[in-house]
Structures are given as C-alpha cells and as structure tokens.
C-alpha cells in the first residue's frame, strides 16, 4: 500500500486548523502522519494542535521560534516525512473524504505525473471555483484556473500547468528529482508563488501535473477579498519580488523569446510605472531583488544542469 503524509504550515491559524484536521482525519485514504509546522503563532494554533495529538492519525508538531515562511515551513515538514506522497495543505482548506485517494490513484497510474490537485471551491460560495490548478500565460503571470467562475464550467479532468499549494499532492519521486540545494520550495520566496516556481521547474524537468474535479475541497482564501489596497504590503512585496525570481530562474532560452520577451517586458514595465505612481512603497522591494539575484542565477544554472543531464540520458 502506498503511503501518504499531510504537511500543514500554521501561522495564527486558530480559526481554521481544527476544521482542517477534522477533514484530514476523515480521509478514505489512510494517512501515515500529519506534520504541522507552526511559524511562531501568537494565537491558540499550537494549543489546538496539541489537543489533537492523541488521535488515531499521528500528528507531529514542529514549533518554530520565528516565522520561517510558507516555503521554509513546508520544507521542514516534507523533510520530516518518508511517505510515497505528500499532501501540502493550507490550514484554511477543508477536504472532502476522497480528496487524497482520488489523486493518489491518478498519480499511481502515471509514473510521469508528479503532482495533482482537485477542485477547490470558495468557502464563501461553494458554487464558485477557487482553483482547478495553475495556468501560465505568455506574460509569465500564473493564475488559478477557473477562479471566480461557476464550478460546472470546470468539470473536465486533464493535465494542467501545475497545482496550487493550497491542497497539492506531490509524489516523492518528483520531490527528490526537482529539489535544488536540498530545497523543494525555494525558501527565498518565503511565501506566495513558491508553488508556481515548483510547477514551472517540474515541467522543465519532464514532470506533468493533473487535475481531477471529482476530488474536491473548500478553501477560505480570505486575503483575496477586496481590492489591492486590502492586501497587505507584505503580501504585495513578496508577490512582486517572487514573480521576478521565478522568471530569472525558470525562463528558458529559445526562439519562443521572439513572442514571449516583448510581452513580459511590456507587462513588467507597466507594473513598474504603476508602482512609481500608485504604490511607491513597493520600490523598496528592489533591494531584496538585487540581494538575492546571485542566488537566483546560481539556482538557474543548477536547474539547467539538471535539464541537460536528463536530456543526455534520453
């Protein structure tokens, strides 16, 4: 029997974690362990998790003294597992009972598929899609497929660019293959778009990703409500920085640049002009960009070396 672990990173998640764990405990697919990494929560998150430690499915709690970010926290959690599959799960997601089993069965049938996701619905309106996976445009801006649309428009299964880190099933075979410098999620990303970076890297290394609408869950995703000004500066900074990191690391050289580069350039210049006029507080992000640029270039080279080695073996 294949083994599955569930990895959750909490940060002031007291409002959601109990419901999240209830849903995991009811999964039809046996779960080997639940690894919870708490990023120095100031609420009752840790206390609520500790109350569940004696339940049938073993829970391992890792308490960080500082906020290690989503990427760092999930890397800690994944490193504490040895299962065939890892479900990376947000604490504000409630899974339907067959969510994991359906996706595991799918990945077991295709050795080239390294990740899978189900149909995530908005908690505020379960008739509306939260995510059916990730899609990448020519402007290299990734979106949650189907977000905000009726679920009956997204009932066709199939391959997708990648999976949202809110409820992503990853095969160990892929985790081991695409990790760079011992990191599955790039910890420079801290939070936001780290799942897109993983999806892009995985595709470059020959892995596919799958969406199955019969596997379903509910996602709160409260931070996306309202306009841009309702989103914290922290989120906007990391979203902006990580978009640049992602392109530097993963964009490949080739004739496709004739079509792609003008689109990417126009979008990034337009975004910069908007920042200069409307969000000057984001300009400080460039200090972090330049500081991390040598690391991004190094990781790009490591990725290119992996791609070359794979092509040589074929």
**Cβ distance 37 to 8 under 8 Å?**
yes
Contact in structure between 133 and 208 (CB atoms under 8 Å): no
For residue 19, the Cα-to-chain-centroid distance in whole angstroms is: 20
Position 190 scores a pLDDT of 86
Dihedral (C-alpha) 241, 7, 180, 118: value to the nearest 10 degrees? -80
Taking 50 as the pLDDT cut, the residues of the chain under it are 223-226
pTM assigned to the model: 0.93
Q: Kindly list the domain boundaries of the chain, sorted by start residue.
A: 4-224, 228-313
Contact criterion met (CB below 8 Å) for 36 and 59:
yes
* CA atoms of 146 and 156, how far apart (whole Å): 12
Residue 90 makes CB contacts below 8 A (sequence gap 6+) with: 8, 9, 20, 165, 166, 167, 219
Summary count for the chain: helices (H), strands (E): 9, 12
Q: How much is the pLDDT for 130?
A: 97
Reduce the DSSP state of residue 131 to 3 states and report it.
Answer: strand
> What was the pLDDT predicted at 11?
95
- Residues 217, 94: contact at Cβ < 8 Å? yes
Output the pLDDT for position 283: 84
Query: What is 4-224's CATH number?
Result: 3.90.550.10
Backbone angles phi, psi at 190, to 5 degrees: 60, -65
């Amino acid at each position: 029997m294949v083994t599955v672990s569930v990895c959750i990173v909490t940060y002031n998640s007291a409002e959601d974690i109990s419901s999240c764990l209830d849903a995991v405990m009811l999964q039809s697919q046996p779960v080997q362990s639940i690894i919870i990494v708490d990023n120095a929560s100031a609420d009752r998150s840790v206390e609520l998790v500790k109350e569940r430690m004696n339940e049938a499915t073993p829970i391992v709690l890792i308490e960080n003294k500082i906020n290690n970010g989503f990427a760092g926290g999930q890397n800690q959690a994944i490193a504490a597992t040895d299962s065939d599959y890892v479900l990376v799960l947000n604490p504000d997601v409630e899974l339907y009972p067959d969510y994991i089993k359906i996706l595991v069965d799918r990945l077991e049938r295709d050795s080239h598929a390294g990740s899978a996701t189900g149909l995530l619905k908005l908690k505020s309106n379960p008739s509306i899609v939260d995510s059916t996976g990730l899609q990448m445009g020519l402007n290299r801006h990734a979106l949650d497929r189907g977000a905000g649309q009726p679920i009956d428009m997204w009932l066709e299964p199939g391959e997708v660019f990648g999976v949202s880190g809110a409820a992503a099933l990853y095969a160990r075979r892929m985790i081991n293959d695409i990790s760079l410098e011992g990191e599955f999620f790039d910890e420079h990303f801290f939070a936001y778009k780290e799942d897109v970076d993983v999806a892009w890297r995985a595709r470059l290394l020959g892995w596919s990703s799958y969406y199955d609408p019969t596997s379903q869950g509910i996602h709160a995703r409260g931070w996306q409500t309202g306009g841009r000004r309702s989103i914290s500066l922290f989120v906007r900074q990391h979203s902006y920085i990580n978009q640049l990191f992602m392109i530097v690391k993963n964009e490949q050289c080739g004739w496709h640049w004739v079509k792609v580069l003008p689109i990417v350039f126009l979008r990034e210049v337009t975004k910069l002009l908007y920042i200069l006029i409307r969000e000057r507080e984001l300009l400080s992000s460039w200090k972090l960009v330049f500081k991390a640029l040598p690391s991004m270039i190094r990781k790009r080279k490591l990725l290119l070396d992996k791609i070359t080695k794979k092509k040589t073996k074929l």
